Chains A and B, each alone.
Chain A
């Protein structure tokens, strides 16, 4: 159960696009289309932003998109806004009733 690897921090200016990577292995990200992404503002509970790799829950802005290539999943935020500044976590099913999170990425909007 090794954590998925995310960059510790990313930054971008309002209106720009950023991408957060999430690298796993062939036992988790690479084997299942069950990667999800969560946004967490300070002092708040996490919020589901993307599930099953690229699906958006109702109410989530279409500025958020997800993708996967091999053992790496990615979250892209386009048209960056101040309220997007938060921590972002990826998560994947890892087989045998096991789930693993990434270490988290702090997004700073400059």
Chain B
């Protein structure tokens, strides 16, 4: 079964850091690009970051550029999002999503169930 399972969310104070993880199974992880997409409570979807199959191509939304870092470990079938200098507006459900191509540009064909990040003092 193709599956993505996120972890690492929680309650964190403004200015602190958090690292999200996404464990992939059921497909050849290193054949595909991967993404993080978030959804603030009651709001729409926002693309956060994407990474190509070999980490050679990486993109970030302007809202997180310079604060978030995406990475992957193909040996561990895992995707990560290091989030620094967190702000209240980063509060959201963070989804891990598989691209249907090897570059982070096509479509998100598999989604995890999300991990909630709450930034509050």
What residues of chain A have their CB less than 8 Å away from a CB belonging to chain B? 1, 3, 32, 34, 36, 38, 40, 45-48, 51-52, 57, 87, 89, 91, 93, 96-104
Contact = CB atoms under 8 A, between A and B. Distances in A.
23 contacts: A3-B44, A32-B105, A34-B106, A34-B107, A36-B107, A40-B45, A45-B111, A45-B113, A45-B114, A46-B95, A46-B108, A48-B108, A51-B106, A51-B109, A52-B107, A91-B108, A93-B105, A97-B57, A97-B104, A99-B104, A99-B105, A101-B37, A101-B45
Interface of B: 35, 37, 44-47, 50, 57-59, 61-62, 95, 100, 104-109, 111-114
A38 B108 contact: yes
B106 A93 contact: yes
Contact of A1 (B61, B100, B106, B113): B61
